[in-house]
Structure 1
Amino acid sequence: MNNLPTNSGHSRGRGRGTKQKDDANRGLGLQLGQSSNEARPDKPVPPADALKTSEIIPKSEDTEAQAIEGDPRGSVRGRRLITEVVHSRPQGLTTKAGISGTKINVQTNYFKLLKRPCWTIFQYRVDFEPEVDNTRYRRGYLYEHKNILGGYIFDGTILFCTTQFNFKELVTKNHAGENITIKIKHVGLVEAADNQQFQVLNLLLRKAMESLSLQLVSRNYYDAKAKIKLNNYRVELWPGYQTSIRQHESDILLCADVVHKVMRTDTLYDILSEAIRDTENFKDAFRRQVMGMICLTDYNNKTYRIDDVDFGLNPLCKFNTKDGDISYVEYYKKRYNITIRDHKQPLVVSRPTEKNIRGGTDQLIMLVPELARATGMTDAMRANFQFMKAMSEFTRLNPDRRIERLRAFNKRLQSSKESMDVLKSWNIELDTALVDIPARVLFPEKIVFGNQKRFVCDNRADWTMEFRNNSMYSHVDIKRWYVITPQRNLRETEEFVKLCIRAASGMKMTISEPRYDKIADDRNGTYSQSIDNAVAKDPQIIMLVLKAPNEEKYSCIKKRTCVDRPVPSQVVTLKTIAPRKEKSAGLMSIATKVVIQMNAKLMGAPWMIELPLRGLMTVGFDVCHSSKNKNKSYGALVATMDMKSSNRYFSSVNEHMKGQELSDQMSMNMTYALKAFREHHGILPERILFFRDGVGDGQLHQVVNTEVKFLKTKLDEIYKSAGKEDGCRMAFIVVTKRINTRYFTKNRNPVPGTVVDDVITLPERYDFFLVSQAVRQGTVSPTNYNVIHDNIGLSADKLQMLSYKMTHMYYNFSGTCRVPAVCQYAHKLAFLIAESINRAPSSGLENQLYFL
C-alpha cells in the first residue's frame, strides 16, 4: 500500500498512547499533535479487540434476561439471540381473530419445524486465558477437543451440550505455539419447555448454515461467492439470509428473508487519502466524512461507530498490556499476522456504548484506518439516482423472485450433508414448503370528497386523479398570503403561483393573488428579515422559494416560522416548480399537491373517510433522535379531535435526553390533547385509540410495564375527576414497520387491506399483520400491530378495520401509507424538530398540521 499523498498543515490532535518521538509523527508532511476536543487520558488505550468485557450472568429463575458480554458496539458475541418473551396480551382476551372481509390464503416466508425438540441441554460458560477476542479463533480452539465434547454448539462464549462434563480446563496452542487455557464452567440447564430453547435452535441453524460456505457479517450470513460488483461505485452487494426461529401460535416456525449487504471496497485509509488529495483542510474533511459512520474490521468481524479521529496517534504508538507496552503495529502482527503498511496514519476513535460501560468496558476504542472498511451508503450515494437504480435491480425483489430465492435456500440447506447432520443430530427436521396461512382482505374504503362525493379506493390505493373531478372535503380560502422568492427567479415563481391558483379553482377553492417579496440574495438573514416583514402583515401562510435544496436555509426558515414568528409556511425549490422542459408535463400535478398541502396546513381537510364512531380520539406517537446531539431525542404526539365532526388536530413535541423515561412527557402531552378536545367539544373523548411507533423489541418490556401503566393511571385520574367513574376507555397499539415477515398471494403482492391474525402471529401477543399500501416494484412489507392494552370496548375485527381506515388519512400523499396517519404525522413532526429546529415549536401552531 502506498503512503498517503502529501499535504501541508498543522493540527493539534488528541493522543491515546505512549507518544513516539516527534519525527515519528511527521509522516506525509504532516505535523501530528493533540486535539482540542478532549484531554489525553492517564492510561494508554489498547485497540478494540484487546479490551476485556463483563462476565455473563446465566439465566435462572431469578433473572428474566441475560447480561451479555458484548463487543465495543454493544452487539452480542457469537451473535447470540436473546429470547426474552414479553407477554403483552391483555388479560381476558377471548379471540384476536377478525371476521370482516374476503377470506383468502396467502403464502409466507416461513418454514415449519416438523419435529419439536425434546431434550435437556447443559449450559457452560467458556473463558480463554490469555483472552481471545476473535470468535472464529475461540471456536477453532474448542473444536480441537470435539472428540471429548461430543455433540455441541458454541457461540463464542456459551457452550451448549447434551452431556455433562467433569473436567474444568482444556489446553491448546495458538499459531505462535503459546498455550491457550480453555476454562469451562457449568452455569445452568436448558429444558425443552424453556424459552431459551429457541436461542439454542437459532444457534443450531446458524451452525448448519456455516456448512453452506456462507460468511457471517454482523448478524447475518452472506454468500461472498455470489457477490455483485458495482465497480463504478466501489461497492459490492452480498446476497444473504436473515433467519429467526420462534414459537408462533401453534408451531415452531423459521422466518427466512433474503437480504443484501452493501459492502464498500474502500477503507477509511482510502477516504483519508482522498481527503488529503482533494481538500486543503483534509483533517476536518476526513472527520466530517467518517464521524458517525459504522466501519467493519475484517480481522474480528465486528462493527464500530466512529466518534472521532485522533491525529495525535499513529500505529507506532504503544499501549499497556499485562505483558508490557506494545505498539499497534506489533500487536496486529503478533495477534493476527497482519502487517500495517503505513505507520503515519492517524487512529480513529470509537466510544464505548452505555451497554459496554455497564459491562465494564469504559475505555475509548482505537482503530487503524487501514484495517477498517467503510460500510453503508454515503449521502452522495443515496443522492445518486444512477447508483440507487443500479442497486435496486438486484436488491428490490419481486414476490416471485423472493419466493424462488427462499425455496433455493431451503433446498441448499437440505442438500448439504454437513448441514443436515447438524440438524438431525439434534432431532430437528425442517419442512421443505413455505407455510400457507388463512388471511382476509378488508373491504375497500370510501374516500369522501366535497359535496359528499365518494370514491371507492381500489387496489392501487391512490386517489390522486380524483381531484380532477372533485373538490376537497373542506377547504380554507387563501386570501392573505406572501410569496418570498429571489428576485432573479420571480418569473418562474409567478408562473407556478398561477398554476396553484388554477389548480385550487378546479377543486372549488379560492386562492387570491399573493404579495411578493423579491429578495436580492438568498442568504439566511435575508430570508429571516423577509419573514419578519411578512408576518407583520398577518398572512394566513407564507410560500418560500429556494434555489436548491439546502438544509441550512431550510432549518433557518423553519426555526423562524415555527418558533420565532409562528406562521404556516410552504417551502418549495426552483427545481420542483420550474423543471426542465422535458419534465414540465407534471407541473400541474405538483401545483395540485402543493395546494392540497397548504389547505391541510390551514386546517382544511382534503378528503375524509367514513368513520362509524363518534367521540373517538386517535393518537400517534413517535421518537426521532437529534442530528446535532446523539444524546438528545424528540418525542412527538399528534391527536385527532373526533374526525366524525371535526377536521382539527392537536400536536405537541418534547425534548428528552438519552436514558430518560418518556412516560412523564407522553402523559403530559396527552393531558394537553384532552384539554384541547374538551375546549373544542365541551366533553372528553369517549374512546382513545393510541398508536405508538418507534418501539424496538428490546423496548417493549418498558413500554408495557412502565409507559402504558403510567399513561393509563394519569388518564383515569382525568376521567374520574370529570365524573367518568369507569375511567378512560383506551386501546394502546404498538406499530412496527421493521419486520421480516412477508406474505404473498399467488406469487404476487397482497392487495391493500390484506390482514393476517393467525398462525404466524405470536401466542403471547394480541397482534395482527396488515398490508395497507401498494408498491409498484419489489415486495410489499406488512406492518405489525401489537395491542398491549385494551379496554376500549371494540372487537379485534373493529380494531383491525379502524387501523386500516387510519392509513388513508395522511394528507401529504393522496393514497394509503404503511402506518396510521397519526403515526406518520408524529414522525414528520419529530423529524422536523430533530433535524431542523432543535427546539420546541410555538404553541400557537399546535392545532394545525404546520409540519407537513
Structure 2
Amino acid sequence: ERADWTNDLKGCPLLKTIKLKNWIIIFPQSKRNTATQFLNTFRSVSKPMEFFADAPQEISIPRDNAESLVNALKSHVNQSTQMAVVLLTSKRKDIYDAVKRICCLESPVPSQVVTTKILEDDRKHKSIVTKVAIQMNAKLGGEIWAVNIPLTDTMICGIDTYHDSSKKNRSVCAFVATYNQNKSRFFSRAMIQETHQELAYNLTLTVKSACEHFYRANQTFPKRIVIYRDGVSDGQLQLVMESEIPQIQKAFSLIDPKYNPLLSFIVVKKRVNARFFASTGRGLDNPPCGTVIDTVVTRQEWFDFYLIPQCVTQGTVNPTHFNVVYDKLNLAPELYQKMTYKMCHMYYNWPGTIRVPATCQYAHKLAYLVGQSLHKEHHNLLCDKLFYL
C-alpha cells in the first residue's frame, strides 16, 4: 500500500548474511564510551538479523584528523580484514575523503563511516545502529531482501553519470549490474572520462567484465540484458543511442563472436513536468504507487511509459518517465513495467520504493563517491560489493 517495509524489517532475519570474523573499529580516544555503546547495541540488533559478528579489533587514536586516521587504516587493514568502521566527531569532507581513498583505492576494504553525534542521540541510537548494521551486511556482499523477477539468466543494469568536482571537463560514468538469479547482488564499475568518445570505449570493457562476472557466478553468460540509462536529457537521446548501444554490442563480440544476448536499453528520466492525479471520493489525490500511465500522454513514436513508484505524504508525487529506445527482448509492455517497478524496491539503503530502478540509484551513488571523494576508479577487489552505499 505505502510501499514501505521499515517495520517489517525489525527483528527479521536478512536474506543472506556474511559472518564478520575479522573487522576493525577506529575511534578517537575521547569517544571510547560512544564506541563501546555502539558495539553493545550492534550485537543486540544484529542477532535477530542473523548477522553474526566476532568482536572487532578496537583502535583508538589521539585525534580524528586525516593523518592519524590514514595511518591507523594503513597499519591495521590487511588482506583478511573484512570491514573497517570509523567513528568521526565531525562531518568534514576532507577527513571522509581521506578514509574513503584509503579504503577504496589503496587498501581495498568495505568501510563504514559514522559520526559520533548521531550515535549519541539516545532517542535514535537503536534505529541508527540497526540501519548501520543492515548497511554493513550489504557492503560485505550480503543480501537484505529480494523481489521475484521470473526472468532467468537476465542481467539488469543501471548507468548514471556525475561530473567530477576536481576537474572541469571530467565526468564519472558508473555501471551497476545484477549478477545472480535473484537480482539481489550487484557488480559495480566506475569509469572516468575526459570526452564523449572515451565513454563509449570504456563501456565496452565494463559490460564485458560484468558479463564475465555473471558467468563466474552462474556458469552461464546472461541470455537477456536490460540496461536502464539515467542522466540523459532529451537533446542527448540520439547521441547516447548512436554511441552507447553499438559499444555494448561490441562487448558481446569480444566475449565470443557467436555470443548474442537479447538487449534492451531503457532511458530513465526523473525531471518530468507531467503530474498525474487519481479521482477519489474526496476529490483529486495522488495515484497509488505502482500506477503506470502508458496511453494518451505518451508519444506514439516511442515505446514509453510513466511510472509512479513512490508514495509521498505531502505535495504531488513526481512520476518517472521510461523510454524503451532499443528492444530485442520483445517482452509485453506490462512485463517491462512490472520489472521496472520491482527493481524500484531493491535499493538496500531505503526499506521502501525509490524513484528509479535500484541499479540506477546504485550507479548514482557510486558515480557521486568517485566524483566527489575518490577522483580515481575504485579497486577491482570491491567490484562485487556495494561498498559505496
Q: After TM superposition, list the pairs within 5 Å mapping 1:227-238 onto structure 2.
A: none
| 1:593-650 per-position Cα deviation (integer Å, ceiling 9, x unaligned) | 1111000011110111112111110011100001111211010101111333x74321
The equivalent residue for 2:170 is 632
1:674, CA displacement in angstroms?
Answer: 0.8
The equivalent residue for 2:129 is 591
- Letter aligned with residue 100 of structure 2: K
Are residue 564 (structure 1) and residue 97 (structure 2) matched? Answer: no
Question: Take 2:273 and 2:79, find their aligned partners in 1: how far apart are those partners?
Answer: 52
Equivalent residue in structure 2 for 1:495, among 17, 20, 37 = 37
The equivalent residue for 1:728 is 261
Are residue 775 (structure 1) and residue 308 (structure 2) matched? Answer: no
Alpha carbons 1:501, 1:512 under 8 Å: kept: no
Question: Take 1:534 and 1:465, find their aligned partners in 2: how far apart are those partners?
Answer: 37
Q: After TM superposition, list the pairs within 5 Å mapping 1:626-665 onto structure 2.
A: 626-644=164-182, 647-665=184-202
Alpha carbons 1:485, 1:544 under 8 Å: kept: yes
Question: Take 2:312 and 2:32, find their aligned partners in 1: how far apart are those partners?
Answer: 38
Alpha carbons 2:203, 2:247 under 8 Å: kept: no
- Letter aligned with residue 3 of structure 2: A
Q: After TM superposition, list the pairs within 5 Å mapping 1:321-720 onto structure 2.
A: 459-536=1-78, 538-579=80-121, 584-644=122-182, 647-712=184-249, 714-718=250-254
Question: Take 1:633 and 1:624, find their aligned partners in 2: how far apart are those partners?
Answer: 6
Question: Take 1:670 and 1:718, find their aligned partners in 2: how far apart are those partners?
Answer: 10
The equivalent residue for 1:741 is 274
Question: Take 2:55 and 2:313, find their aligned partners in 1: how far apart are those partners?
Answer: 39
- Letter aligned with residue 673 of structure 1: A
SS at match of 1:511: coil
The equivalent residue for 1:86 is none
1:660, CA displacement in angstroms?
Answer: 3.7
Are residue 794 (structure 1) and residue 331 (structure 2) matched? Answer: yes
The equivalent residue for 1:50 is none
| 1:424-476 per-position Cα deviation (integer Å, ceiling 9, x unaligned) | xxxxxxxxxxxxxxxxxxxxxxxxxxxxxxxxxxx221111112242111111
Question: Take 1:811 and 1:567, find their aligned partners in 2: how far apart are those partners?
Answer: 19
SS at match of 2:124: helix
Question: Take 2:349 and 2:185, find their aligned partners in 1: how far apart are those partners?
Answer: 16
1:564, CA displacement in angstroms?
Answer: 0.6
Question: Take 1:756 and 1:845, find their aligned partners in 2: how far apart are those partners?
Answer: 39
1:819, CA displacement in angstroms?
Answer: 0.4
Question: Take 1:817 and 1:647, find their aligned partners in 2: how far apart are those partners?
Answer: 16
1:508, CA displacement in angstroms?
Answer: 2.0
The equivalent residue for 1:40 is none
Alpha carbons 2:291, 2:309 under 8 Å: kept: yes
| 1:83-102 per-position Cα deviation (integer Å, ceiling 9, x unaligned) | xxxxxxxxxxxxxxxxxxxx
Alpha carbons 1:614, 1:642 under 8 Å: kept: no
Question: Take 1:469 and 1:522, find their aligned partners in 2: how far apart are those partners?
Answer: 34
1:711, CA displacement in angstroms?
Answer: 2.1
1:728, CA displacement in angstroms?
Answer: 2.0
Alpha carbons 2:162, 2:368 under 8 Å: kept: yes
SS at match of 2:47: helix
1:538, CA displacement in angstroms?
Answer: 2.6
Cα root mean square deviation, aligned: 1.5
Are residue 763 (structure 1) and residue 305 (structure 2) matched? Answer: no
The equivalent residue for 2:379 is 842
| 1:787-816 per-position Cα deviation (integer Å, ceiling 9, x unaligned) | 000001311111111001101100111111
| 1:303-345 per-position Cα deviation (integer Å, ceiling 9, x unaligned) | xxxxxxxxxxxxxxxxxxxxxxxxxxxxxxxxxxxxxxxxxxx
1:715, CA displacement in angstroms?
Answer: 4.2
Question: Take 1:842 and 1:720, find their aligned partners in 2: how far apart are those partners?
Answer: 26
| 1:814-841 per-position Cα deviation (integer Å, ceiling 9, x unaligned) | 1111000000000000000000010111
1:587, CA displacement in angstroms?
Answer: 1.7
| 1:364-386 per-position Cα deviation (integer Å, ceiling 9, x unaligned) | xxxxxxxxxxxxxxxxxxxxxxx
1:524, CA displacement in angstroms?
Answer: 0.7
Question: Take 1:668 and 1:626, find their aligned partners in 2: how far apart are those partners?
Answer: 21
- Letter aligned with residue 471 of structure 1: P
Alpha carbons 1:733, 1:785 under 8 Å: kept: yes
Q: After TM superposition, list the pairs within 5 Å mapping 1:98-497 onto structure 2.
A: 459-497=1-39
Question: Take 2:252 and 2:381, find their aligned partners in 1: how far apart are those partners?
Answer: 28
The equivalent residue for 2:288 is 751
Alpha carbons 1:807, 1:818 under 8 Å: kept: yes
- Letter aligned with residue 704 of structure 1: M
Change in CA separation of 1:719 and 1:508 when aligned onto 2, cut-off 3 Å = same
Alpha carbons 1:715, 1:728 under 8 Å: kept: no
Change in CA separation of 1:578 and 1:537 when aligned onto 2, cut-off 3 Å = farther
SS at match of 1:734: strand
| 1:675-710 per-position Cα deviation (integer Å, ceiling 9, x unaligned) | 111122221101101000110111001012222233
Change in CA separation of 1:537 and 1:677 when aligned onto 2, cut-off 3 Å = closer
Alpha carbons 1:620, 1:690 under 8 Å: kept: yes
Alpha carbons 2:24, 2:57 under 8 Å: kept: yes
Question: Take 1:804 and 1:536, find their aligned partners in 2: how far apart are those partners?
Answer: 41
**TM-score, normalization by structure 1:** 0.44
Question: Take 2:203 and 2:223, find their aligned partners in 1: how far apart are those partners?
Answer: 20
Equivalent residue in structure 2 for 1:822, among 317, 337, 359 = 359
SS at match of 2:123: helix
SS at match of 2:91: coil
The equivalent residue for 1:244 is none
Question: Take 1:525 and 1:791, find their aligned partners in 2: how far apart are those partners?
Answer: 53
Question: Take 2:79 and 2:293, find their aligned partners in 1: how far apart are those partners?
Answer: 54
- Letter aligned with residue 69 of structure 2: Y
Structure 1 portions without partners, runs of 5+: 1-458
| 1:387-417 per-position Cα deviation (integer Å, ceiling 9, x unaligned) | xxxxxxxxxxxxxxxxxxxxxxxxxxxxxxx
Change in CA separation of 1:719 and 1:484 when aligned onto 2, cut-off 3 Å = closer
Question: Take 2:243 and 2:115, find their aligned partners in 1: how far apart are those partners?
Answer: 44
The equivalent residue for 1:334 is none
| 1:184-221 per-position Cα deviation (integer Å, ceiling 9, x unaligned) | xxxxxxxxxxxxxxxxxxxxxxxxxxxxxxxxxxxxxx
Question: Take 2:161 and 2:173, find their aligned partners in 1: how far apart are those partners?
Answer: 4
Larger radius of gyration: 1
Question: Take 1:780 and 1:511, find their aligned partners in 2: how far apart are those partners?
Answer: 41
| 1:2-35 per-position Cα deviation (integer Å, ceiling 9, x unaligned) | xxxxxxxxxxxxxxxxxxxxxxxxxxxxxxxxxx
- Letter aligned with residue 384 of structure 2: N
SS at match of 1:609: coil
The equivalent residue for 1:832 is 369
Question: Take 1:846 and 1:573, find their aligned partners in 2: how far apart are those partners?
Answer: 26
SS at match of 1:789: strand
SS at match of 1:675: helix
Equivalent residue in structure 2 for 1:785, among 318, 322, 325 = 322
- Letter aligned with residue 314 of structure 2: Q
1:534, CA displacement in angstroms?
Answer: 2.0
